[in-house]
Structure formats: C-alpha cells, structure tokens
Amino acid sequence: MSAIEGIAARARLLGEAGYFDPNSDEVIPSPCISVCRMSEDRSHCVGCFRTIPEIRAWAQADSAERLAIWAALAQRAGMAFPP
C-alpha cells in the first residue's frame, strides 16, 4: 500500500464514522498512520503528509484547526477532503 493509499484509507474510515462532520462533538483523530518519516526535502511526513509545525500543533489544536490540518494534508497528498 502506498503512503497516499494509507492516508486516503484512514480519511475514508474516519469520514464514514462521522469524525469530519462539522456538527460532530467527537474529537477529530490524528492522521498518523505510523509511517513516521520526513520526505526527502523535509517538507512533510511521508505517512500522514503533515508538516513539522502541524505535527507539533496537533495536540493543542481545536476541531477547526484539526479540520484545517486534515484539509491541508489532503491537498498535499492529492486527495479529496472530506472523503
């Protein structure tokens, strides 16, 4: 499975569970798929497609910020968001 397929599968699973619904009270889960390695140019993680600042900000991010991070990483990965 490629990195893009991995993050796309995670996004689909979370989307189907309703985590990306703006009316949901659920905490939006991390996009981490346990492939923690930076790209060659160090612009983003090759597993979750987040940048280092996004990874650092995740724990303190509210729902709106987490959705924005998911949208940004989806764009980097070339996938639609929400799935």
Mean pLDDT by 10 residues, the chain (83 residues): 90 96 92 95 97 98 96 96 90
Q: What is the structure's pLDDT at 83? A: 86
**Contact (CB, 8 A) for 81 and 63:** no
Q: What is the structure's pLDDT at 78? A: 95
- For residue 30, give the nearest of 3, 69, 1 by alpha carbon: 69
Return the H-helix or E-strand segment holding 6: helix 3-16
Q: What is the structure's pLDDT at 39? A: 96
Q: What is the structure's pLDDT at 2? A: 84
List % helix, strand, coil for the chain (3-state, nearest 5): 45, 0, 50
**Contact (CB, 8 A) for 1 and 8:** no
